Chain A
Amino acid sequence: MSLRSKTSDLRKRMSEAIKGGGDKAIEKQVSMGKMTARERIIELLDRKSFFEYDLFVEHAAKDFDMDKKKLAGDGVIIGTGTINSHPVCIYAQDFTVAGGSLGYMHARKITKIMDHAMKLKVPIIGINDSGGARIQEGVNSLAGYGEIFYRNTLASGVIPQISVILGPCAGGAVYSPALTDFVFMVDKISKMFITGPEVIKSVLGEEISMEALGGARVHAEKTGNAHFFAESEKECFNQIKELFTYVPWNNTKKADSFPTKPPKTKSFKISKIFPADPTEPYDVRNIVRSISDDSNFFEVQNLWAANIVIGFTRLNGDTVGIVANQPLVLAGVLDVDSSDKAARFIRYCDAFNIPLLTLVDLPGYLPGIDQEHAGVIRHGAKLLYAYSEATVPKITLIMRKAYGGGYIAMCSNHLKADFVFAWPTAEIAVMGPTGAANIIFRKEIAQADDPDAVRQQKIDEYKEKYANPYIAAAYGYIDSVIELNETRKFILHALEISQSKEVVLPARKHGVPPF
């Protein structure tokens, strides 16, 4: 055989394998409004940057006549490429090949590229579109999932792990995305659940559609399993590319620096956004924009637990993680979900060397029997744990209310914030003025001829004396009380001076956080 015929033989083999499940299956995929696995990779990565491996891998199933079947690439594409000119490892399940079902070799391909990502210290992106375990391969299919989960766990906090759900992802398969850093979902295309509508119907007699059970919107708004919600696959890929401008390529690196730009103060002026009356709402994201470079803010999990805001921004060209109480929703209270949301984000930022800026304005914890019974103690403790453990630069700005446990939890001086700034509107106290006055002056109020008048007088006195930042400042718990328009200046300096921050935690295998 000549070189030419060998080459043409290779090309023939490749073009066959690249077709995946064949024209009919591809047609079906497209009719569902979905891109093919290969199209997705090409759309997401930089132009012409994709290199594929294991194209000729074949499945290992022998029983149930599977040995007579050929499954192109065993239903998954793996390879490497670049995003924003940085290298990444990627895999995409191919639904056109046996429904993207996961068998032994399919899983081996995924774990191979995951191992590469760990050795090369580059991010791993997984595009999930699979009917689940390949039943014909039995326990080997389960083994495959287990091997993936194990690698997800070891890679956590070492390399960024991104899961993109672009089709069904059901049963045990959902635990790989759940173990990764960020989960992206697309409306009407993505579905995730442990037990599907059919099982639920047979056990409970309750009917629910896949979309209503585990669609993108459900996971973005209700469960918090999804971090990003998109209307289309294209929008989803753009979100991933944008995310990658904010995060470093592994845990020993810093995220890319960008040229500094001042905030757009015409659109986002603190004095216009911010009401001094502590009971009036405002959108805390606009406060972020009023101090960030070019007023940029890339929000994470914006639809779930909206009473706390998390996301990335840039200050002086470098990535900063934002955690902010949101007075716009539920007055910005802490509760089960908002504590979980913030705590995990703090740990992400800490793992990947991203400094934290915390904006504080909260009345406390959400009161309620449901909250107490849902374990708000255990969940709220995650926030304390995450902040205390974080060794990246920690800067806190107290804008208005910081009462009681909420004050401590929101990266206070006591949890070892490096710099705590407060606006003159800040109120740092053990509790709100009415409650405090009612307790401290209980006797005087009860014994007065006109209890209501005395109560009001005592509340006013307490407010005057304690509802401000100066008592906390007198103890050094606040480092500086600053004017609103000095905020960016103080924060930029604090970040600059903290660049070489080093904190050594006690030697231990790992802590035991209140998961």
Chain B
Amino acid sequence: MAKKTEEKIEDNQEFEDFRVGDAIYRTKISQMQKERKPYKVPNPKESLAFIPGTIVEINVKKGDQVKQGEIMMLLEAMKMKNHVKAPFDGVVKNIYVKVGQIVSKNYKMIELK
């Protein structure tokens, strides 16, 4: 197995510049490093799905006034109905999900203003 990898590396000399600290190195960039997603500053006005699951209930609509802590929707995941609460007093700017929709982790569900 070790031999095989060695051959792979030898006939695939694709080195790139890679900066660490103050120097630039000639090296291969791993797949993981290539696939990494750039960091996005979180928007506190957006509620993202903190767990993958299904939207089972939506209690607000666009334009509604909400109070901090108010339950805006229920996200069912792993046999639990999780509360999606308003993070602050505000107005619902947009709802991005429907009842019955399956959402992945970090899916944007609702936005306040």
Measuring CB to CB, which residues of chain A are less than 8 angstroms from any residue of chain B? 203-206, 221-222, 228-230, 235, 239, 278-281, 283, 285, 297-299, 302-303, 306-307, 311, 327-333, 337, 363-364, 366-370, 403, 431-435, 438
Contacts and interface: CB of A to CB of B under 8 A. Distances in A.
A207 to B, nearest CB: 12
Nearest to A230: B1
B88 interface: no
Interface residues of B, number: 31
Contacts of B53: 203
Given A331-B20, A364-B21, A370-B36, A204 B2 contact: no
Contacts of B28: 281, 328-330
A307 B30 contact: yes
Given A203-B102, A328-B27, A299 B21 contact: no
Interface in B89-103: 102
A367 B25 CA distance: 14
Contacts of B77: 203
Contact of B9 (A204, A283, A433): A283
A281 B28 CA distance: 9
Q: Which of A230, A280, A281, A311 has the most CB of B within 10 A?
A: A281
Interface of B: 1-2, 5-6, 9, 15, 18, 20-33, 36-37, 39, 52-54, 77-78, 102, 104
9 contacts: A235-B1, A303-B5, A330-B27, A330-B28, A331-B18, A363-B21, A366-B20, A370-B37, A432-B23
Contact of B30 (A239, A330, A368): A330
Given A279-B25, A299-B1, A432-B23, 14 more contacts: A203-B78, A205-B102, A206-B104, A222-B32, A279-B24, A281-B15, A281-B25, A281-B26, A302-B5, A311-B2, A328-B27, A328-B28, A368-B36, A434-B21
Contacts, number: 94
Contacts of B33: 330, 366
Nearest to B25: A331
Nearest to A283: B9
Contacts of B9: 283, 328
Contacts of B104: 204, 206
A203 B52 contact: yes
B85 to A, nearest CB: 22
Contacts of B54: 203
Give me the 6 closest cross-chain CB pairs, A-B, nearest first. A434-B22, A331-B25, A363-B20, A205-B102, A369-B39, A299-B2
A364 B25 CA distance: 12
Contacts of B2: 285, 297-299, 302, 311
B77 to A, nearest CB: 7
A444 B75 CA distance: 59
A215 B104 CA distance: 23
A278 B18 CA distance: 13
